[in-house]
Each structure stands twice: as structure tokens, then as C-alpha cells.
A and B are shown apart, each in its own frame.
Chain A
Amino acid sequence: MSEKETLFKEIFEQNSSKVYHLSLGYTGDEDVANDLMQETFIKVWQNMDGFRQQSQVSTWVYRIAINTCLSHLRSEKRRNSDPLNSEHLENLVDEPSNKQEQINQLYKSISYLEENERMIITMVLDEVPYPEIAEVFDISEGNLRVKIHRIKQKLTRIYNQHERF
């Protein structure tokens, strides 16, 4: 295994689940999220030689992942007011358990958020430090905290509304 491959494997192992969650939160479709995750890592591989260590590797990977998701928007017709296709959410696992149903419900609730809110909240749920999220989105930490507070309330409200039914 070359030095590049070793480094790439390390980057993949440390970031793939977060990138996948971000993509799934953004699209609500497991297959599309898979494609976006792979597309992100293809770009990571292609840009590895140009990475200048000016920021953390994870910040750099997130930036690519977010822009890959935003590119996907070009062909999307869905609006945030439309619930995600429930068929996709039901197919997230082959044998849905109670826990898995709750996770599906959570992703469905995320789908009701605005695009940037979906991205921010998946990063918060994956416990990405706030300064890193602020750097990725190019906003001040103060502004981010306000946004996160609002998104948390919004998501909790939507989730609980749907859980009752």
C-alpha cells in the first residue's frame, strides 16, 4: 500500500460515517447518500496532493462533502416543505426494529428542515466541535450557536409531533 493510500484509508476511516450521515440527512435516500459519500471521497483522493494542512483534514473533507451535497441539489426538485419519500425511509434497513423506526423517523424529521439546517444538525449530532462547524460554513461561532439553538428546538418539535402518530 502506497503512502497516499495509507493516508487515504486513515481519512476514510475517521470521516466516512460522518460524511455518510451528512449525505443521508441531506437527501434522506440511502442510495443517493452512498453515491454522495463515495463521490466525496473520490474528490478527497483527487485533491490529496493539493491539501496544504492549513485546516484540519476533517474540515477539509466536510467542505468537499457539503459542496458535493449542494451540487446534488442541481438535479433535485424536492422542496424542504415536502416530506421525504417515505418509501426510501422505510427501506433504510431490511428488517426494521423499533430503534431503527425511530432513526428513520429522525431522518424524516431532519428532512423538514432547511438544507443548511440539515447539514448543521447532522454535524452537531455527530459531535463535531462548534468552531469546526463555523469554519466549514464560514460563519461566526456566535451566529452558529444561535442557529444551532433554533435548529435543535425545531427538530425536537418536529420529531415529537411525528412520534405521536
Chain B
Amino acid sequence: MKDFEAIKVLWKVQKEVPVSYDTVIKNISANRKSYAVKLVLQGIVVFIAIIAVVAIWFLKHFYTWTTHLSMFILCYCMIYYLIMQFREYKQVKQFDQHLLKPHAFIEYLKRYKQNSYLFNTRNFKMYTLGIGTAFLLILFELYFITSPLLFLIFTIAAVAWFLYSYFVLMKAYTKQEKSRIEKMISQLERVKKQFEE
């Protein structure tokens, strides 16, 4: 049998912290670089994709206005994605919330997670609708420049992709995210009660 004083004595014989100051300093530098590298890489990939779409848009002759609209939608979706990535990066870099009192911090976490869930599901819906619409608009162009068989194949593929993205992928993503956020919120609520006076 041990009393609390004996437990305190036991606590003091623990081994030292396994991570040195030098390791932490190295990780601080690596952490800063990894954020920047990730952002730059994402930016480059999306930028190349935008340039490719713009180049096709201006260098190729299109017969219908629907294709121009389709190119515009594709560019808009990609630029929107790029802006959102920068915004998220800026949000992640804000650490002021970590100085909040525990009760307020849990409330902040709850709000942040709920907003992020709404934002992600709304964005997923927007990309699916935007890119799906862009592909469907290109079909008008294809009607004039390809054979009926190829046109039929393209149409079936585009419609199938759109339906699959919207009704299978998006629904599964939303359902999974909803269940994850509900679990998280109920857990945060439970912990928040512990920090009430």
C-alpha cells in the first residue's frame, strides 16, 4: 500500500525527457520549412494546371461559346482552390488561440471543427458541380468535332463521372465527416464540462 507521499517520491525517479533542446530547435526549423515547401509545391502544381487550361483556351479554336464558359469555370475552380489553400495556411499559422483559457479553447476547437466541416463539405460540392458542369459544357463542342460514337462515349463517361462524384463520393465523404465531427463534438462537450468551475 502506498499513500500519496510515496507516489510523489516514485514520481521523482522518472527518467529524463527523451528529447534534447537541439532536436527541438532542428524540428522548429524543419516544421517551418515543411509548411512552406508544401504550400509552394501545391501552388506550383495548380499554377501549371491553370497555365495549361489557359493555353488551351487561347491557342485552340473553339466552335461554341459553351467551351469558353467551361474553360472559365475550370480556371475559376482552380484559382478558388489556390486561394483557399493560402487561407487555410494562414489560419494554421495563427497560434493565438493556444493562449486561451482551457474552457474557451475547447469552445474555440468546437467552433473551428464545425466551421471547417461546413467549409470542406461546401467546397467539395462546389468542385464537383463546377468541374462536372465544365465537362458537360465541353460536350457541345465535341458534338461538332467528333464522330457520333466518340461523342456517345464521352457523354456517358462525363455523366457517369458526374453522377459517381456527386451521389457516391460526395455522399460518402459528407457522411464520414459528419460522423467524425459528431464524435469529436460530443467528446469536446464532455471534456468542457470538466473544466467548468
* A77 contact from B7, B11, B15, B183, Cβ within 8 A: B183
In the complex, chain B residues whose CB is within 8 Å of the CB of A100: 15
Interface of chain A: mostly helix, strand, loop or mixed: helix
| Residues of chain B at the chain A interface (Cβ within 8 Å) | 1-4, 7-8, 10-11, 13-19, 21, 23-25, 27-28, 31, 95-103, 105-106, 109, 113, 183-184, 187-188, 191, 194-195, 197
Q: Is the CB of A47 within 8 A of B99?
A: yes
Task: Report the Cα distance A65→B105, complex, angstroms.
Answer: 12
Residue of B nearest to A68 (CB): B98
Interface of B is mostly: helix
Nearest chain A CB to B32's CB is how many angstroms away? 9
Residues of the A chain whose Cβ atoms lie less than 8 Å from the Cβ of B14: 21, 103
Residues in B with CB closer than 8 Å to A102 are 10
Q: Is the CB of B191 within 8 A of A37?
A: no
The answer on a CB contact under 8 Å between B113 and A74 is: yes
Whether B3 lies near A156 (C-beta < 8 A) is yes
Residue of A nearest to B106 (CB): A70
The answer to whether the Cβ of A86 comes within 8 Å of any Cβ in the partner chain is no
Complex contact A46–B3 (CB within 8 A): no
Q: How far is the CA of A140 from the CA of B130 in the complex (A)?
A: 54
A12–B2 touching, CB < 8 Å: no
CB distance from A13 to the nearest CB of B (A): 7
Instruction: Report the Cα distance A41→B24, complex, angstroms.
Output: 7
CA distance in complex: A38, B31 (Å): 11
- Distance to closest chain A CB from B100 (angstroms): 7
Asked if residues A70 and B17 are in contact (CB atoms below 8 Å), the reply is no
- Tell me if A103 and B10 are in contact (CB < 8 A): yes
